[in-house]
């Protein structure tokens, strides 16, 4: 590829004249924004041990009362982006959030979309637009853009969950902000039960549901049962995986990030082709290894890792007797909308 001219090759007075009028020559920086063959990736393969961060999260509960934190979170930051950027990838924010018994995280709404993957404990709940969503291990709870939500805890043990937000991309668009609110009145609970059977959804006689997000809580007990049934009924299937979708239209459950759950059968190894999107892997149950770019991360329950895009990935169940269950997040929905999503078989 032809070598392009450098900024230093231009006369100093010419560079000064450009700067004076807020102008920049493209050609010295063209290869940095349009590199040949594939993007320049800042996201680095990164691993976060839950057993390593858990004591620090619990100590945060001792050091900082909820009134001083609003949301008591330790951010899982990728060093490739700089820890101060608080990004797991170019589009994904991850945080481990702690709620202690009796605490209440006040109601607010914000422009970034969020989901909560519950890690441990019981007795807590998230109320989203008046719908109370109990929080149990492995449950996925949506708090989409612009929807009021708050967290409360009526139990007697700490509850921890993994926050996954599209905050980096919304912030980059200069569209990220929050609005504070008052405590919500609970008007419904358990509405996800109306969507527990595949292929059928509520169909009122005269008026179709106008809810953009009709299902806010995806109970792990149902998702796990679906994965086990899929593995049993289709033993030849290459990957036992289900996507979290809007049950009324089959679209991704949120607009920017996509979420799925994967079951690795005992002793199974799964080779994943390189995809353009970075991927987050969070171990719900069992033990698995994630290998990519010469890195191998051994995940125990509640561990998390991130792998950059354009990278082949190998997933392996480290148990020959028990299945392993993994939660996956990526930005495939956004990339598909932009027309840049691709799969490469190197």
Residue-range definition of the domain harbouring residue 237: 46-193+214-344
| Confidence class for position 170, pLDDT limits 50, 70, 90 | very high
In a domain, 281, yes or no: yes
Does residue 33 lie in a domain region? Answer: no
Instruction: Please give the tally of structural domains in the chain.
Output: 1
For residue range 184-198, list pLDDT tens digits in order. 999 989 888 888 888
CA 219 to chain centre: 17
- H-helix or E-strand containing 30? helix 30-33
pLDDT for 211 equals 78
Across residues 7-22, what is the average pLDDT? 96
pLDDT digits (tens, 9 = 90+) for 253-297: 999 999 999 999 999 999 999 999 999 999 999 999 999 999 999
Q: Is the pLDDT of residue 93 over 60?
A: yes
Determine, yes or no, domain membership for 336. Answer: yes
- What pLDDT is recorded for position 206? 58
pLDDT of 286 reads 98
φ and ψ of 296, to 5 deg: -130, 125
Q: With respect to residue 173, please indicate whether it lies within any of the assigned structural domains.
A: yes
**Do the domain assignments include residue 19?**
no
Region 77-86 average pLDDT = 97
Residue 210 has pLDDT above 90, yes or no: no
Between the alpha carbon of residue 171 and those of residues 110, 175, 230, the distances in Å are 11, 6, 38
User: Per the domain annotation, does 124 fall within a domain?
Assistant: yes
pTM of the model: 0.95
CA dist., res. 80 & res. 57, Å (int): 23
Q: Is residue 302 part of a domain?
A: yes
What's the CA gap between 209 and 174, in Å, rounded? Answer: 32
Q: What is the mean pLDDT of residues 4-8?
A: 92
Q: Identify whether 39 is part of a domain.
A: no
Q: Find the CATH number of the domain harbouring 297.
A: 2.60.120.10
Distance CA 165, CA 159 (A): 19
Instruction: Using DSSP, state whether 272 is helix, strand or coil.
Output: strand
Which token pair is 76? 């899982």
């Amino acid at each position: 590829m032809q070598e392009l001219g450098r900024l230093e090759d231009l006369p100093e007075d010419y560079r000064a004249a450009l700067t004076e009028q807020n102008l920049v020559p493209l050609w010295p920086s063209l290869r940095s924004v349009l590199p040949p063959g594939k993007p320049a990736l800042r996201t680095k393969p990164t691993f976060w041990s839950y057993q390593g961060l858990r004591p620090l999260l619990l100590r945060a509960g001792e050091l900082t009362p909820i009134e001083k934190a609003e949301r008591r979170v330790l951010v899982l930051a990728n060093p490739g982006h700089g820890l101060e950027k608080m990004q797991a990838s170019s589009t994904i924010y991850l945080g481990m959030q702690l709620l202690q018994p009796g605490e209440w995280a006040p109601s607010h709404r914000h422009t970034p979309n969020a989901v909560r993957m519950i890690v441990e404990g019981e007795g807590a709940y998230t109320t989203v637009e008046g719908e109370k969503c109990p929080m149990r291990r492995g449950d996925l709870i949506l708090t989409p853009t612009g929807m009021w939500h708050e967290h409360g805890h009526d139990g007697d043990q700490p509850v921890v969950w993994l926050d996954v937000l599209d905050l980096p991309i919304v912030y980059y668009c200069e569209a990220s902000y929050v609005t504070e609110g008052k405590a919500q009145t609970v008007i419904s609970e358990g509405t996800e039960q109306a969507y527990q059977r595949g292929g059928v959804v509520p169909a009122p006689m005269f008026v179709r549901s106008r809810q953009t997000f009709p299902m806010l809580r995806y109970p792990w007990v149902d998702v796990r049962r679906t994965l086990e049934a899929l593995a049993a009924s289709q033993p030849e299937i290459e990957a036992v995986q289900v996507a979290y979708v809007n049950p009324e239209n089959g679209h991704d459950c949120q607009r920017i990030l996509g979420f799925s759950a994967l079951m690795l059968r005992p002793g199974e190894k799964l080779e994943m082709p390189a995809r353009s999107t970075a991927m987050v892997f969070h171990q719900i149950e069992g033990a698995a290894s994630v290998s990519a770019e010469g890195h191998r991360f051994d995940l125990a329950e509640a561990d998390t890792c991130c792998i950059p895009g354009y990278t082949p990935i190998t997933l392996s169940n480290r148990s020959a007797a028990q299945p392993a269950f993994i939660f996956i997040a990526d930005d495939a929905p956004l990339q598909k909308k932009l027309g840049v999503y691709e799969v490469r078989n190197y």
